[in-house]
């Protein structure tokens, strides 16, 4: 991996940390502050190493945010001759993420789906080598219903926040650990990662 990419990625992470949006809350008649949630650098580098080392060519990300984790996944996909599909519902984040993709020089291998995760998965038709899950944790069990059949044998799922938000993904963790032909484990890195291999 070129040194230049790491430097650009650091710049993008710094930019992401400054991002937030004011969103109207019609119920409480006030504004909500929406932040750009991003994985720590060490988690992003771990994702890159895992995707690159396993020669993943078809990568799917649930939860683009401002695109920091996406650029690391895309760098691995680019070097493996593959592509990344990433899903984000919030339009302002999609706009910023697209700029970050170009800034990092990986925009040509990324397809950003501006939609709900479930709507994208309902019509999903590609086999997947590598999945990163980092959004809408309470519905991971629903998403797994669609993801498991699409995941290739030997394919990997990495789930962020399996340490600090583990209570929100109990149903998913149970389903994943009871799935046939799988190996899974927890990794104590940053916010905690759950690793699943089919």
Dihedral angle over CA of 133, 39, 113, 167, nearest 10: 40
Task: Identify the CATH number of the domain defined by range 38-197.
Answer: 3.40.50.150
Q: What is the pLDDT along the chain (198 residues), one digit of tens a residue?
A: 555 999 999 999 998 888 877 666 665 556 666 677 899 999 999 999 999 999 999 999 999 999 999 999 999 999 999 999 999 999 999 999 999 999 999 999 999 999 999 999 999 999 999 999 999 999 999 999 999 999 999 999 999 999 999 999 999 999 999 999 899 999 999 999 999 999
Strands (E), the chain: 20-25, 30-35, 58-62, 83-88, 110-114, 128-133, 151-159, 183-187, 193-197
**All structural domains of the chain with their residue ranges:** 38-197
Instruction: Calculate the CA 92 to chain-centre distance.
Output: 17
Residue-wise over 117-156: b if at least 16 C-beta within 10 A, else e?
beebbeebeeebbbbbbbbbbebbbbbbebbbebbeeebb
């Amino acid at each position: 991996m070129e040194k230049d990419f790491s430097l650009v990625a650091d710049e993008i992470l710094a930019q992401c940390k400054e991002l937030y949006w004011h969103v109207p809350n019609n119920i409480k008649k006030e504004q909500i502050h929406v932040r750009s949630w991003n994985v720590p650098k060490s988690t992003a580098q771990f994702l890159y190493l895992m995707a690159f080392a396993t020669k993943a060519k078809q990568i799917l990300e649930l939860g683009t945010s401002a695109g920091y984790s996406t650029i690391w996944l895309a760098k691995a996909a680019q070097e493996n001759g593959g592509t990344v599909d990433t899903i984000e519902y919030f339009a302002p984040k999609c706009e910023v993420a697209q700029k970050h993709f170009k800034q990092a020089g990986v925009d040509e291998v990324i397809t950003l789906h501006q939609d709900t995760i479930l709507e994208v998965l309902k019509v999903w038709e590609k086999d997947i080598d590598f999945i990163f899950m980092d959004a809408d944790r309470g519905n991971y069990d629903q998403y797994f219903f669609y993801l498991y059949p699409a995941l290739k044998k030997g394919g990997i799922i990495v789930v962020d926040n399996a340490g600090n938000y583990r209570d929100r993904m109990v149903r998913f963790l149970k389903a994943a650990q009871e799935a046939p032909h799988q190996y899974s484990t927890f990794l104590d890195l940053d916010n905690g990662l759950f690793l699943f291999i089919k």
